């Protein structure tokens, strides 16, 4: 390349730019200088425009050289930019520092704000209270479960077609499809019975509320996460009549004296005999309307006598003890009571929605 080439001093020009960049230690200055260093008004951009003057046979090579220089300068600029930005951010945060140990609490004046309990949480509480009044205790359980607790101990063996009843989210742990987000609160039953057996007294009288998950695209009537409350009684001499009595007592206590319950046969792997329980339609009080498809009844949940296979899985002697379980949706109770047209409002957390409940 001849000395008269516009790129004759490229190396030193490049080094000079890098030196300038290195010298800047203030983020604001660097930003201010950006156009001159690497931008539209920079030396390298000016040189770019002179490429046209170079003989065609040398132009490609010159272009490559210029590109190489530009890359070096830009890389350095970007590095410096990040360094100084971090310094700047740290300085800003430092300037913002507040030792919270020095906060004079009595001097903090906050406006009075009226709070609002969450609808689902207060519905859960109300349901718990009804059952506590009937002599139940309340038990909690984890949301991530093994296949054993969520399915197999509940008499739903691997690949059993009944698994199709639950659209399951699998958790990426262990062997494939062995850890799940619980699809129902029923695994807590197993935990409770196992714990009771360990203590040598298999009796359980408990309800188990909690969050569950189903892999189902949310719509106005379903959410992928939802809340269930499940009941479990294990004792001597417990029969289907006790189950039906508990369901009826609960129904009247929670929904009111004009609402009653009825049971009809259904299938759940963990209970036998099993039933679905329906309550008088709360919209039409049983006269028949669109909500209840003119039947006067709406489905609320499932229930049944503990299946002998479940008792066996947890080591309870089914010839001495018997029991029942039932379960239904907490969100659904809230939906019914407040005629919530779109369940997605429950997870939207719009202040205007939240403030309706007290």
Partner 1 sequence: MKIPLSWLRDFIDISESPEQLREVFDDLGLVVEGVEYTGQDIDAVLVAKVLEIHPIEGADRIRRVVIEAGEGPLEIVCGAMNFVEGNHVPFAPVGAVLPGDFAIAKRVMKGITSNGMLCSARELRLNEDHGGLYVLDELITPVIGQPLVEALGITPDVIFDISVEGNRPDAWSVEGVARDLAARLGRPIKSPVLATTNGPSTGEVARASITAPNECGRLTVSIIENIVVKPSPTWIQQRLSGAGMRPISNVVDASNYVMLELGQPNHPYDASKVAGKTLGVRHAVPGESIKTLDGVVRELARPGRGLGDSGVDVVIVDGDDTILGLAGVMGGDDSGVSDSTTEVLFEAAFFDPMTIARSSKRHGLRSEASARFERGVDPELALRATARFVEILKQSCPEIIWRSEPIDVRGQLPRVPEISLSAFDIERSLGVSIPLDEATRLLTAIQFSVKLDGEGLLVSPATARLDVREGAAGRADVIEEIARLYSYQRLPRRVPTWAEPGGLSKTQRLRRQLRDVVVDFGAAEAWTPTLGSDADFELLDSGERVRITNPLASEESVLRNTLVTGLARAWARNVERGTGDLILSELGNVFIHPKVAKAPRATKGGVAGSVTLELPEERERLAVLLGREEDDARTAVAFAVGIFNRLGVANVVLRTPEQTPNGFHPTRVAEAIDRQSGSVLGFVGEVSPMLLAALEAPEGRRVGYVDLDFEALADESRATRQATEAKIPSKFPSALLDLAFVAPDSVHADDIRSALQLASDEVEAVSLFDVYRGTSLGEGVRSLAYSVRLTPRDSTFSDTQIAKIRELLVDSARHLGAELRAQ
Site for partner 1 in 238-297 (CB under 8 A): 238-242, 244-246, 248-249, 262-267, 269, 272-276, 293, 295
- Choose the stretch contacting partner 1; rule: CB under 8 A; options: 7-15, 31-39, 40-48, 217-225: 217-225
Q: Does 34 bind partner 1 (CB under 8 A)?
A: no
Find how far residue 47's CA is from the centre of its chain. 56
Site for partner 1 in 162-201 (CB under 8 A): 162, 165, 169-179, 181
**Which listed residue (68, 117, 256, 315) binds partner 1 by CB under 8 A?**
117
**Which listed residue (3, 55, 56, 101) binds partner 1 by CB under 8 A?**
101
Q: Does 110 bind partner 1 (CB under 8 A)?
A: yes
Element spanning 11, H or E: helix 10-23
Q: Does 211 bind partner 1 (CB under 8 A)?
A: yes
How big is the CA angle at 246 (ends 244 and 248), to the nearest 5 degrees? Answer: 70
Total residues binding partner 1 (CB under 8 A): 119
Could you identify the residue written with the tokens 């903090």? 108
Q: Which does 346 bind (CB under 5 to 8 A by kind): Zn ion, partner 1, none?
A: partner 1
Q: Which does 292 bind (CB under 5 to 8 A by kind): Zn ion, partner 1, none?
A: Zn ion
How does DSSP assign 271-319, residue by residue? EEEEEEEEEE-TTTTTS--TTTTTSSEEEEEEEEEEPHHHHHHHT--TT
The structure tokens listed for 77 are 């600029």
Q: Does residue 100 sit in helix, strand or coil? A: helix
Q: Which does 68 bind (CB under 5 to 8 A by kind): Zn ion, partner 1, none?
A: none
Site for partner 1 in 227-246 (CB under 8 A): 233, 235, 237-242, 244-246
Pairing outcome for strands 204-213 and 137-138: parallel
Decide whether 146 or 282 has the Cβ nearer to Zn ion. 282
**Which listed residue (4, 23, 49, 107) binds partner 1 by CB under 8 A?**
107
Greatest C-alpha distance within the chain: 107
232 and 208 in contact (C-beta within 8 Å)? yes
Pairing outcome for strands 225-235 and 322-329: antiparallel
Decide whether 55 or 108 has the Cβ nearer to partner 1. 108
**Which listed residue (48, 128, 222, 284) binds partner 1 by CB under 8 A?**
128
Q: Does 6 bind partner 1 (CB under 8 A)?
A: no
Site for partner 1 in 38-97 (CB under 8 A): 93-94, 96-97
Minimum distance from residue 193 beta carbon to partner 1 (Å): 13
Minimum distance from residue 60 beta carbon to partner 1 (Å): 42
**Contact partners, residue 226, CB within 8 Å, separation at least 6:** 211, 212, 213, 214, 329, 330, 331
The values of phi and psi at residue 285, to 5°, are 55, 30
């Amino acid at each position: 390349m001849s000395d008269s080439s516009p790129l004759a001093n490229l190396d030193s020009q490049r080094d000079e730019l890098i030196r300038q960049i290195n010298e800047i230690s203030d983020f604001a200055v660097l930003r201010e200088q950006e156009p001159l260093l690497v931008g539209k008004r920079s030396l390298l951009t000016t040189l770019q425009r002179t490429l046209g003057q170079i003989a065609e046979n040398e132009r490609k090579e010159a272009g490559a050289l210029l590109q190489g220089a530009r890359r070096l300068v830009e890389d350095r600029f970007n590095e410096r930019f990040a360094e100084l930005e971090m310094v700047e951010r740290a300085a800003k945060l430092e300037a913002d520092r507040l030792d919270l140990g020095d906060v004079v609490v009595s001097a903090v004046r906050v406006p009075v704000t009226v709070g609002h309990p969450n609808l689902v949480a207060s519905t859960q509480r109300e349901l718990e209270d009804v059952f506590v009044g009937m002599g139940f205790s309340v038990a909690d359980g984890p949301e991530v479960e093994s296949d054993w607790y969520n399915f197999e101990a509940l008499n739903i063996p691997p690949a059993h077609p009944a698994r199709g009843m639950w659209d399951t989210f699998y958790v990426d742990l262990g062997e494939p499809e062995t850890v799940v987000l619980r699809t129902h609160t029923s695994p807590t039953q197993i935990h409770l019975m196992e714990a009771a057996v360990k203590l040598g007294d298999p009796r359980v009288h408990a309800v188990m509320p909690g969050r569950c998950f189903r892999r189902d695209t949310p719509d106005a009537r379903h959410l992928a996460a939802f809340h269930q409350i499940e009941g479990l009684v294990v004792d001597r001499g417990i029969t289907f009549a006790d189950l039906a009595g508990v369901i009826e007592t609960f129904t009247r206590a929670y929904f009111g004296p004009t609402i009653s319950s009825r049971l009809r046969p259904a299938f759940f792997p963990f209970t036998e005999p099993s039933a679905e329980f329906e309550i008088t339609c709360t919209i039409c009080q049983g006269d028949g309307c669109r909500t209840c498809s003119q039947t006067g009844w709406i489905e609320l949940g499932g229930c049944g006598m503990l299946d002998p296979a479940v008792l066996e899985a947890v080591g309870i002697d089914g010839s001495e003890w018997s029991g029942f379980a039932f379960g239904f949706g907490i969100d659904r109770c809230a939906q019914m009571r407040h005629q919530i047209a779109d369940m997605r409002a429950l997870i939207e957390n719009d202040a205007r929605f939240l403030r309706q409940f007290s």
